[in-house]
Amino acid sequence: MSQVPFDSFGAKKVGFWRRQFTQIPTRAQDTFDTIFAVVMPIIVLLADPIVFKGGEGFWNRGLLEDYQLLAYVVCSLQIGLFLTWRTWRRSLIRWAPAFAGIFFAGALFSSVIGVVLLPFSLIGLIVLIGALGFTPLLAAFVFLRNGVRTARIRGRAATVKSRFMLAVMTGVLVIALPVLMTWQVERTISASVNDLISADEVQSAQAARQLRWFRFVPDKYRRRIAIAHANSIDPVRRQTLNDAYRKMTGEDLEVRRHYYAD
């Protein structure tokens, strides 16, 4: 028979949710946070067949395809900043309010994606793959928990008002800057794709060269090129489109055009 210390009798047990937000995380919580704020989002983005990228066959367009570039940039930024805080927390302690704002913004961003995907995730549970759709909601919880813990850290000379303002400012900037950046990048990509598809031979070749500068071209623009290639009867235009697509993706449109079929 196990022995229970006398002092434990009558002790008030800390509730589950309160334990999740205690200032000092447990090893299990640290592991959970790393998995669902870093590892699983990367896996889901790479293996994504439905959210930001389309899959083969019937579902060949992503549900949130129009926001693919923005999501990739925000997720990369949030993961990078999360790892930065986890690695150099003691050195960055004076910037705790800024990181609190960043984590709260990450929680909001992940929650929006998670709520949009929730109906599809529930349906997808039938074939188990839908469980991956809950990753944004779990990531939102991780960012919220770390935001709360970070916001509780008090600077030596910082007032509550100054800490709050810094958190709000960084939270807004960590979303607003990617929005502005991706908006400008997508404008440039869209204009180049339009020229590639519709302009004369010289402008089309210039647009193809410009597209090479972009490390990543969202799937919706690749589809436009593929559809234009399939619909064109001009062999020169078809070759230009195929060359541009191959240099962007390393794939041949003659092989991949069924992937983007309407």
With H, G, I as helix, E, B as strand and everything else as coil, classify residue 6.
helix
Radius of gyration of the chain (CA): 24
Q: Residue 177, CB half-sphere, CA atoms under 13 Å: how many?
A: 12
Give the percent of the chain with pLDDT over 70.
87
Whole-model pTM: value is 0.84
Same domain, 141 and 130: yes
H or E element in which residue 208 lies:
helix 201-211
The packing angle between helices 27-34 and 135-151, to 10°, is 130
Same domain, 122 and 196: no
Is there a contact between 175 and 58 (Cβ–Cβ < 8 Å)?
no
Same domain, 59 and 121: yes
Residue 1, in any domain of the structure: no
Structural domain count, the chain? 2
State pLDDT tens for residues 188-229: 999 999 999 988 888 888 888 888 888 788 988 988 898 888
The predicted structure's pLDDT at residue 257: 56
State pLDDT tens for residues 85-133: 999 988 999 899 999 999 999 999 999 999 998 988 888 777 767 678 8
Question: Token digits for 216?
Answer: 């990543």
H or E element in which residue 42 lies:
helix 40-47
Residue 38 has what DSSP assignment?
A: I
Residue 32, in any domain of the structure: yes
Say how far apart CA 245 and CA 212 lie, in whole Å. 10
Range of the domain at 43: 16-182
pLDDT at 258 over 70: no
Residue 4, in any domain of the structure: no
Domain boundary among 161, 182, 203: 182
How distant, in Å, are the alpha carbons of 36, 73, 92, 114, 230 from that of 85? 16, 18, 7, 24, 48
Is there a contact between 71 and 52 (Cβ–Cβ < 8 Å)?
yes
Same domain, 164 and 190: no
Residue 5, in any domain of the structure: no
Domain boundary among 182, 209, 239: 182
